[in-house]
Amino acid sequence: MPERIGVVGVGRMGANMAKRLKETGFQVTAIFDPRTKLAKELAAELGAEHCKSLARVTELSDVIITVVPDDAAMEKIFAEKGASLLKGATGRLFINCATISPKTHLVVEKRANKVGAQSLEACMASSITQAREGTLYLMIGGSEVSYSRASSILEKLGSTIRFVGPTGQAAKVKAVVNMIMNINTAGLAEGLGLGQALGLDLGMLREVLSQTGANSRVLATDGEDMQNRDHGCFFSAAHAAKDSGIALKLGQQAKLNLPLAAAAKKQYDLMVKAGMGGLDKSGIAELTFKDRHFAKKKPSKK
């Protein structure tokens, strides 16, 4: 009998993952999100139950996918007391997709194992479009037994699935990936901002960048958006700030100085402080283009 799937956290990523699984033949039985309206609408669309408690999600599901914003939210849904996901969780498999600290993934695994459940980290290095199409880049950490059980689900969500080792390892890889991505995004914004200030044609400049050592993935995903001030959110500045913080903390634990990561985080923190945390990370260009400084003209959220 196919495993029943519950989804906790149905923002842009979680909702599209749930839709993808439903479309590919999986039985999505339970939806939970503290944003009740979102959860109700998605549950109705998928023919699932809108659960009013986390324990109800566990009751209705064999596999629970979680996509929550941060460590605090993760600790809360896996609380050892009360009606958390751990209540009645014997035999369940949790696939945890949030970008959080490796330490929290380990805590969750320990708590899950204590009640006879399994836990797997499935860190995503992709965005909303890939979640909808099932082409996510997934970095998996946990036991090989849990990975094997989850494989048929993961194969429908991701086009690249990389098992990187025990729990915590995937979160470390994801922290490095996002640290570099955030630095590259901040650097691109400064480069294009300088190009504009020098009177260069930015379309031409972006083409030159793509053909030289200045090329990067973010040039393709964010360069045109920076030029056109199109900051519809795929990966928010607030998330960039949070993820940069995770990398910096890991660097501190490793006694390693990461000055570029620290500088990038300051820029994303500045965006959040200026009320631009809900913009896509490409919105960092609003801090660097000469005629767009947030103090002079703050862009509206889309």
What DSSP assignment string belongs to the chain? -PPEEEEE--SHHHHHHHHHHHHTT-EEEEEE-SSHHHHHHHHHHHT-EE-SSHHHHHHH-SEEEE--SSHHHHHHHT-SSSSSTTTT-TT-EEEE-----HHHHHHHHHHHHHTT-EEEEEEE---HHHHHHT-EEEEEES-HHHHHHHHHHHHHHEEEEEEEESTTHHHHHHHHHHHHHHHHHHHHHHHHHHHHHTT--HHHHHHHHHTSTT--HHHHHHHHHHHHT----SSBHHHHHHHHHHHHHHHHHTT---HHHHHHHHHHHHHHHTT-TTSBGGGGGGGTSTTT-TTT-PPPP-
pLDDT at 293: 63
Average pLDDT, the chain: 95
Convert the pLDDT of each residue in 78-107 to its tens digit: 999 999 999 999 999 999 999 999 999 999
Does residue 29 carry a pLDDT above 50?
A: yes
pLDDT in tens, 118-171: 999 999 998 899 999 999 999 999 999 999 999 999 999 999 999 999 999 999
Tens digits of residue pLDDT in 168-186: 999 999 999 999 999 999 9
Decide if 129 contacts 104 (C-beta within 8 A): no
Location of each CATH 3.40.50.720 domain in the chain? 4-167
- The arrangement of secondary structure in 171-287, i.e. its CATH architecture, is Orthogonal Bundle (1.10)
The CATH 1.10.1040.10 portion of the chain extends over 171-287
pLDDT tens per residue, range 202-254: 999 999 999 999 999 999 999 999 999 999 999 999 999 999 999 999 999 99
Please, are residues 113 and 119 in contact by the beta-carbon 8 Å criterion? yes
Q: Report the distance separating Cα 181 and Cα 126, nearest Å.
A: 11
CATH of 4-167, one of 3.40.50.10800, 2.40.70.10, 3.40.50.720, 1.10.3470.10: 3.40.50.720
Residue 291 has what pLDDT?
86
